[in-house]
Structure 1
Amino acid sequence: MDRLDTMRLYARIVELGSFTAAANDLDLPRATVTHAIKKLEARLGAQLLQRTTRCQRITRDGQAYYAHCVRLLADLDEVEADFREAALKPQGRLRIDLPATLARQVVIPALPEFCARFPLVELDIGTSDRFVDLLREGVDCVLRVGELPDSGLVGRRVAMLAQATVASAGYLRRHGKPILLADLQQGHLAVNWASPTTRRLESSLEFVVNRRRREVHLPSRVTVSGVDAYLACCEAGLGIAQFPRYRVADSLARGTLREILPDLPPPTLSVHVLYAQQQMPARLRVFVDWLVELMERQA
Structure 2
Amino acid sequence: MDPILAMRTFVRVVESGNFTRAAESLNLPKGTVTKQIQSLEERVRSKLLNRTTRRVSVTPDGAAYYERAARLLSDFDELESSMTNAQSSPKGQLRIDIGSSTAQLLVIPRLKEFCDLYPEIQVDMGVTDRPVDLLGENVDCVIRVGQLKDQSLVARRIGTLPFVTVASPDYIKRYGMPQHPSELEKRHHVVAYFTQRSRGPYPLQFRKDDEELEIMVTYRVAVNEANAHFSSVLAGFGISQCVTFQAAPHLERGELVQVLPEWTCDPLPMYVVYPPNRHLSPKVRAFVDWAAQLFSEHPHLQGR
Alignment of 1:189-268 (within 5 A): 189-196=189-196, 198-210=197-209, 213-268=212-267
Q: Which residue of structure 2 aligns with residue 154 of structure 1?
A: 154
**Which whole-Å deviations, capped at 9, do the CAs of 1:197-251 have from their partners, x for residues lacking one?**
x133234211222166431234222322122332233223322111101122333
Q: Which residue of structure 2 aligns with residue 169 of structure 1?
A: 169
| Gap change, CA 1:81 and 1:240, over 3 Å in 2 | closer
* Separation (CA, whole Å) in 2 of partners of 1:111 and 1:167: 31
**One-letter amino acid matched to 1:105:** L
Once the two structures are TM-superposed, the CA of residue 119 in structure 1 deviates from its matched residue by 2.6
**One-letter amino acid matched to 1:141:** C
What is the percentage of aligned positions where both structures have the same residue?
36
Once the two structures are TM-superposed, the CA of residue 183 in structure 1 deviates from its matched residue by 4.7
| Gap change, CA 1:83 and 1:200, over 3 Å in 2 | farther
- Long gaps (5+) in structure 1: 1-78
Secondary structure of the structure 2 residue equivalent to 1:139: coil
RMSD after superposition: 2.4
Contact 1:192 1:201 in 2 (8 A): no
Contact 1:206 1:267 in 2 (8 A): yes
Q: Which residue of structure 2 aligns with residue 125 of structure 1?
A: 125
Which stretch of the first structure deviates more once superposed, 174-183 or 266-275? Answer: 174-183
**One-letter amino acid matched to 2:179:** I
**Which whole-Å deviations, capped at 9, do the CAs of 1:239-278 have from their partners, x for residues lacking one?**
2111101122333234332111222221112211111134
Once the two structures are TM-superposed, the CA of residue 145 in structure 1 deviates from its matched residue by 1.9
Contact 1:188 1:218 in 2 (8 A): no
Q: Which residue of structure 1 aligns with residue 280 of structure 2?
A: 280
**Which whole-Å deviations, capped at 9, do the CAs of 1:110-168 have from their partners, x for residues lacking one?**
12222232232221112111222222222111111223343732222111012110112
Contact 2:152 2:276 in 1 (8 A): no
**Which whole-Å deviations, capped at 9, do the CAs of 1:22-71 have from their partners, x for residues lacking one?**
xxxxxxxxxxxxxxxxxxxxxxxxxxxxxxxxxxxxxxxxxxxxxxxxxx
Once the two structures are TM-superposed, the CA of residue 90 in structure 1 deviates from its matched residue by 1.6
| Gap change, CA 1:182 and 1:201, over 3 Å in 2 | closer
Once the two structures are TM-superposed, the CA of residue 100 in structure 1 deviates from its matched residue by 1.9
Scaled by the length of structure 1, the TM-score of the pair is 0.66
- Long gaps (5+) in structure 2: 1-78, 300-304
Alignment of 1:176-187 (within 5 A): 176-184=176-184, 187=187
Which stretch of the first structure deviates more once superposed, 165-174 or 184-193? Answer: 184-193
Contact 2:185 2:218 in 1 (8 A): no
Secondary structure of the structure 2 residue equivalent to 1:164: strand
Once the two structures are TM-superposed, the CA of residue 193 in structure 1 deviates from its matched residue by 1.6
* Separation (CA, whole Å) in 1 of partners of 2:92 and 2:210: 46
Q: Which residue of structure 2 aligns with residue 107 of structure 1?
A: 107
Once the two structures are TM-superposed, the CA of residue 292 in structure 1 deviates from its matched residue by 0.8
**One-letter amino acid matched to 1:257:** L
| Gap change, CA 1:186 and 1:80, over 3 Å in 2 | closer
Contact 1:244 1:269 in 2 (8 A): no
**One-letter amino acid matched to 1:117:** L
Q: Report how many aligned residue pairs link the two structures.
A: 220
Contact 2:100 2:225 in 1 (8 A): no
**One-letter amino acid matched to 1:242:** Q
| Gap change, CA 1:132 and 1:251, over 3 Å in 2 | same
Question: Which is higher, the Rg of structure 1 or of structure 2?
Answer: 1
